[in-house]
């Protein structure tokens, strides 16, 4: 069972990750409440044993809404990273391995996409396609491509120069086989580092865009749309925005921290924050 996490922080983060997956797939296991349930007897009720995060303007349990929000949150964060990986990993492998003009052109395109500030690019695409979860995943996937591409390309260059790859080449192993069988397995570690980092960015961008009305639209439940809905209650029911914002912050911080841990595990000689 060597794949099980051992250090306390790794165990903690794995538990949080597992909880997030459960919340996304079986939210009803974690809360008895219906996230859209209306209860006129408890509008904006303060936190209590029954409602640890209080209730919202329609009397729905805020904790339940936060838990049910995980599903979209995870769909956006994972969906965009997977989408980006599907494009970026083959391109990065080719650019790093072949070099020459293929590398030059692909890197140029990647750097161009990278120079768009993410939020601005998202606003531009939302202006032409309209705000929706699909647009959000597409936009984030698109801007993540160059970030994964650069990593894969750099790692491929390093591994291409190692003895075992040169030996394989000398033995006449075909390029696709070298890329998939010899190089790809060796860059999975660094890829594991960037995935939580990008997911953290996705969570924060989702929150920001939904907050200004350009991301997930209420009544769909995501943390961003909850932050949007709760913005009128900072004074009357401060726990409501406080709870949602704190959860968002902690989730993003956990992802960043997860990336740090992965980085330390992949490359023990180089400390990271």
Residues that bind other proteins (CB under 8 A): 101, 104, 108-109, 111-113, 115-121, 123-129, 200, 204-205, 207-208, 211-214, 227, 231, 234-235, 238, 241-242, 245, 248-253, 255-257, 260, 270-273
CB of 260 to other proteins, least distance (A): 8
Instruction: Provide the minimum distance between the beta carbon of 246 and other proteins in the complex, in angstroms, as a whole number.
Output: 9
Cis peptide bond N-terminal to 219, omega within 30: yes
Sign of CA dihedral 68, 75, 260, 118: negative
The residues with which 55 forms a beta bridge, in sequence order, are 61
Q: Which residues, 6+ apart, have CB-to-CB distance to 260 below 8 Å?
A: 272, 273
Minimum CB distance to other proteins smaller for 166 or for 272? 272
Least separation, in Å, of the C-beta of 133 and other proteins?
17
Residue 117 Cβ vs other proteins, minimum distance, rounded to whole Å: 4
Tell me whether residue 14 or residue 246 sits nearer to other proteins (CB atom). 246
User: Tokens 């491929």 map to which residue?
Assistant: 156
Pick 89 or 143: Cβ nearer other proteins: 143
Least separation, in Å, of the C-beta of 240 and other proteins?
A: 12
In degrees rounded to 5, what are phi and psi of residue 44? 50, 45
Which of 105, 96, 91 shows the shortest CA–CA distance to 161?
Answer: 96
- Written as six digits, the tokens of 183 are 């190089």
Is the Cβ of residue 173 or residue 264 nearer to other proteins in the bound state?
264
Q: Which is nearer to other proteins, 131 or 184 (CB)?
A: 131
CB of 182 to other proteins, least distance (A): 27
Instruction: For other proteins, give the closer residue by CB, 125 or 183.
Output: 125
Query: CB of residue 180 vs other proteins: minimum separation in angstroms?
Result: 29
Nearer to other proteins, 23 or 131 (CB): 131
CA distance 91 to 140: 18
């Amino acid at each position: 069972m060597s794949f099980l996490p051992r250090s306390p922080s790794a165990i903690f983060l794995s538990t949080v990750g597992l909880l997030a997956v459960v919340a996304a797939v079986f939210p009803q296991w974690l809360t008895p409440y219906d996230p859209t349930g209306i209860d006129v007897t408890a509008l904006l009720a303060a936190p209590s044993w029954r409602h640890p995060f209080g209730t919202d303007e329609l009397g729905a349990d805020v904790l339940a809404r936060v838990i049910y929000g995980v599903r979209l949150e995870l769909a956006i964060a994972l969906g965009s990273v997977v989408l980006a990986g599907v494009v970026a990993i083959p391109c990065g492998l080719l650019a790093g391995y072949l070099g020459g003009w293929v590398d030059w052109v692909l890197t140029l395109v990647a750097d161009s996409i990278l120079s768009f500030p993410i939020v601005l690019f998202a606003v531009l695409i939302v202006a032409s396609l309209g705000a929706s979860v699909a647009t959000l995943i597409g936009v984030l996937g698109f801007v993540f491509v160059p970030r994964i591409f650069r990593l894969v390309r750099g790692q491929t260059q390093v591994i291409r120069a190692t003895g075992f790859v040169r030996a394989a080449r000398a033995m006449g192993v075909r390029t696709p086989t070298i890329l998939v069988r010899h190089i790809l397995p060796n860059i999975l570690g660094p890829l594991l580092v960037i995935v939580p980092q990008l997911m953290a960015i996705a969570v924060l961008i989702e929150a920001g865009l939904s907050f200004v009305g350009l991301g997930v639209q209420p009544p769909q439940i995501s943390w961003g749309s909850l932050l949007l809905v709760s913005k009128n209650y900072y004074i009357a029911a401060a726990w409501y925005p406080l709870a949602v914002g704190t959860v968002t912050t902690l989730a993003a911080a956990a992802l960043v921290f997860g990336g740090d841990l992965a980085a330390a595990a992949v490359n023990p000689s180089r400390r990271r924050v």
